[in-house]
Amino acid sequence: MQDVELLMPAGNLEKLEYAVRYGADAVYLGVVDFSLRAMRKGSLITMDNLKQAVDLAHSLGAKAYVTINIFAFNNDIKQLEACLDRFKDANPDAFIISDYGILNLIKHNIPDVPLHISTQTNTLNYESVKFWRDLGASRVILARELPIADIAEIRKAVPDIELECFVHGAQCVSFSGRCLLSDYFSKGERKANHGNCSQPCRWSYKLVEETRPGEYLEINQDDRGSHILSPKDLCLVKQLPQLIDAGIDSFKVEGRTKSLYYVSAVAKAYRQAIDEILKNPSADMEKYFLELQKVGNRGYTTGFALGDNDGESYSYDISKGLAGADFLCEFQTNGVDAVSGDYYFVKIKNKMLLGDEVEIITPDEQFTAIIESIKNEDGEDLRLGNTNDDVYVKFSKSPKNYKYALVRTVGIKNVY
């Protein structure tokens, strides 16, 4: 079987590093105003630190792809023209593009950087792939709506271009993200295709009959309303062998706005799954599916991959992700006394109790341990650590390398 790439989201510099440490071969990142999933708060990747982000990925041995996949108006083109030198200086491994005008600008001004065609172009057939190849693209990111059988047919018809597909993460109710609901409900202030979607597909809706204003009717028997537009999350870890056989070169995970824990845990699961498949194509993927249930999700579906997408692919009762395990804390290493004897300095993300059994994951390890002691920075014993507290914790078993270690509840038991 051929080598394949694991491509993870990089919402900020810290997530970028964790994604690579936990197994990503490449990361994709965007800057505010030019990306469909640019974060609006926190440690953003901006034009000022874009080169730093790309250099960080390269220093860790990974590739970095920069997304410029908005649908551009004239003002966007003018803004992009003013930034071309900085994009060129960043020297990414590829640009991810959906707009013809942006493609034209990049192709003529930064010709040495490969072009990847965004899933936003709704590429569904081999003639479209040939079209993009003939325009100079080195890779096409296929639409999520494609069955695996169609992907195999595309690969056979167009063997001389890289193919990428999404294998995990949130899905859009609209065709490859071509949605106007957010624009409409926010009166144009939250444009979905400019990186600021308010996700109205996740909202709860009720039915109103036009001659009975004010009488709101439940669409189904659920006291939380009905999330009739909300797709379940995609999870194709069990279908990885079929996707490799079909000719996919890069497996992409959605989630630039997801947490550091999400990015790390998902990268670890898919890294291990891919590595095992490449050694043993008939390997059972069930254990990795269970691992992925430990991160936030709205229920999992195979979407269109098997050609049987139906009502079971929608989450009618929940709009927010539920996780099979809670992220408890991350080990702190920057500018602090990270280790004091047997104690580790951690940032609490969710309440931790003395005596709890927890699971510790690192890029190289995964094991359970007991919280034996919790102390504050003054050395006083505590019965618990509250959310956002900085405390020292002693575990019954410690990681060999704590620098990128994360702690979560045991949740769903491992089967290996």
**pLDDT tens for residues 235-254?**
999 999 999 999 999 999 99
User: Does position 227 have pLDDT exceeding 60, yes or no?
Assistant: no
Tell me the one-letter amino acid at 413.
K
Tell me the one-letter amino acid at 124.
L
CB 43, CB 60: distance < 8 Å: no
Domains and CATH numbers, the chain: 5-176+230-313 (3.20.20.70), 327-409 (2.40.30.10)
Give the pLDDT mean for 44-65: 95
Give the pLDDT mean for 201-209: 71
Please give the pLDDT value at position 316.
54
Ordered alpha helix ranges (H), 248-363? 260-279, 286-292
Top-confidence residue, 308 or 154: 154
Q: For the ranges 28-32, 276-280, 347-351, 397-401, which has the lowest average pLDDT?
A: 28-32
Q: For the ranges 187-191, 336-340, 354-358, 412-416, which has the lowest average pLDDT?
A: 412-416
| Dihedral sign from CA coordinates of 144, 70, 14, 112 | positive
Q: Which residues contact 250 (CB under 8 A, 6 or more apart)?
A: 4, 5, 6, 7, 26, 139, 162, 163, 164, 165
User: Does position 224 have pLDDT exceeding 70, yes or no?
Assistant: no
